[in-house]
């Protein structure tokens, strides 16, 4: 089974797995995010078009107000 890693959690990879699919699979409903795939920044307007490969390392950072 092919997998990817999202915030150090290993999940199954699937065909045409884009960022929106990953966020749904992780139940991440946050709005303000910074996302990096294999060290590369993925902006919000690229979530749909960014397809991840098996073995990808995805980092999702949720920015919360307060400061």
Partner 1 sequence: MNKKEFFSAHDPNIISILQKSVIGIAGAGGLGSNIAISLTRAGIGKLIVADFDKIEPSNLNRQQFFTDQIGIPKVIALLENLNKISTFTKYQVHEIKLNEENIPFIYKDVDIMIEAFDKAEMKTMLIETWLTNFPNKPIIAASGLASWGKNELLHTRIIDNLYICGDEQTNLQAGISPMAPRVGIVANMQANLVLELLLDEKL
Closer by beta carbon to partner 1, 1 or else 64: 64
d(CA 60, CA 55): 16
Closer by beta carbon to partner 1, 15 or else 31: 31
Cβ-count burial 40-51 (b if 16+ within 10 Å, e if not): eebeeeebeebe
Closer by beta carbon to partner 1, 38 or else 48: 38
Least distance CB 53 / partner 1 (angstroms)? 19
Q: Which residues bind partner 1 (CB under 8 A)?
A: 31-34, 36, 39, 41, 43, 59, 61-67
Q: How far is CA 22 from its chain centroid? A: 5
């Amino acid at each position: 089974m092919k997998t990817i890693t999202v915030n150090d959690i290993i999940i199954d990879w699937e065909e045409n797995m884009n960022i929106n699919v990953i966020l749904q699979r992780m139940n991440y409903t946050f709005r303000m995010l910074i996302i990096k795939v294999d060290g590369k920044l993925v902006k919000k307007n690229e979530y749909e078009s960014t397809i991840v490969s098996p073995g990808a390392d995805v980092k999702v950072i949720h920015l919360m107000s307060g400061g």
